[in-house]
Structure 1
Amino acid sequence: MSQLSEFEGRSGAEFTMTVETGKIREFAAAVGAGHPLHSGDDPISPPTFLASSAFWTTDAGAAWGDQPPDLSRVLHAGQQYVFHGPPPKAGTVLHCRERIDRVYTKQGRRGGALEFADIVTEFRDADGRLVAEARATLVVTEQAPTA
């Protein structure tokens, strides 16, 4: 087993993400978010736009650091966003930090033990105010599933 429990509570380095006008428009088009708020001169990001923060970080920003689990056995089991105000608009600079909030194990039916990791990314504005949180749940299988 991958022993994810050793990573529980670990945080990555802070990284910054600039919410850019063109990126909001591109993301909105890609996910079919056609609301006029996501276009124009001063667009507001679609709620799931924060997923693009993955393109702004490095290994240092990831809570796993340079020791991620074996990606051939990782499943994305869920994603949730909590906003503490409106979604960020173009021009906002977000200060982000990812942490492994919780790790737990369940027995799978076909792939052996399953390790779950809840990963939380906090997004703060220039004043340190919490703008949003993204919570992802990853599953690492003990072995490849059998038929």
Structure 2
Amino acid sequence: MANHEAQGRTGTPYPVPIERGKILEFAAATRSANPAYWTSDAPVVPPTFLTTQLFWQEWAGDDANPWRHVELDRKRGMHAEQEYVFHGPPPRAGTTLTAQSRIEEIFTKQGRRGGTLTFAVMVTEFRDADGRLVAEARLTGVETERAPEADS
């Protein structure tokens, strides 16, 4: 069962260096043919590139990741949604952003087969060297109250 007291918990800030090689690796992994990623010395990030911040968050230590306080049961949990919002042009290689995550919301809805569904939403803000909000990543996880019953 999710820990509703985790709502509002904020992790410590951590750096997210935007490296050209990592952008190229990401573009290759996603099979992108977009020349914006391949031909520039300072390419922009692909829209979903910010997912890689989870690695930086892990490397930054336990205090950076507030998600661990949510305590969703992994046997009944899943990743439900991911959203990215850019507040201007996407960042380019050579930039270092500062990221900080918070548990924005934990709520329940009645499910059809697995009982009550518990949702948790983590928002990660990405800021530039001047403190300007560049982008946000919104991760939603869900946990079922019980395993869905097999169809008859």
> Given the superposition, is the C-alpha separation of residues 25 and 97 from structure 1 closer, same or farther in structure 2, using an over 3 Å criterion?
same
Give the superposition deviation at 1:122.
0.2
SS at match of 2:80: strand
Taking only aligned residues, the RMSD between alpha carbons, in angstroms, comes to 1.5
Q: Which TM-score applies when normalising by structure 2?
A: 0.89
Q: Deviations over 1:83-123 (max 9, x none)?
A: 01111110110100111111110111111211011111000
Q: Which residue of 1 aligns with 2:56?
A: 56
Mark the runs of 5 or more structure 1 residues left unpaired by the alignment: none
Q: Which TM-score applies when normalising by structure 1?
A: 0.92
Is 2:138 aligned against 1:132? Answer: no
Number of aligned positions between the proteins: 146
Is 2:100 aligned against 1:97? Answer: yes
Given that 2:6 and 2:69 are in contact with CA atoms closer than 8 Å, whether structure 1 keeps it comes out as no
Residue 35 of structure 2 aligns with an amino acid whose one-letter code is P
Is 2:120 aligned against 1:121? Answer: no
Distance in 2 of aligned mates of 1:68 and 1:104: 14
Distance in 1 of aligned mates of 2:67 and 2:118: 15
Give the superposition deviation at 1:67.
6.3
Q: % of aligned pairs identical? A: 53
User: Which structure is higher in helix share?
Assistant: 2
SS at match of 1:72: coil
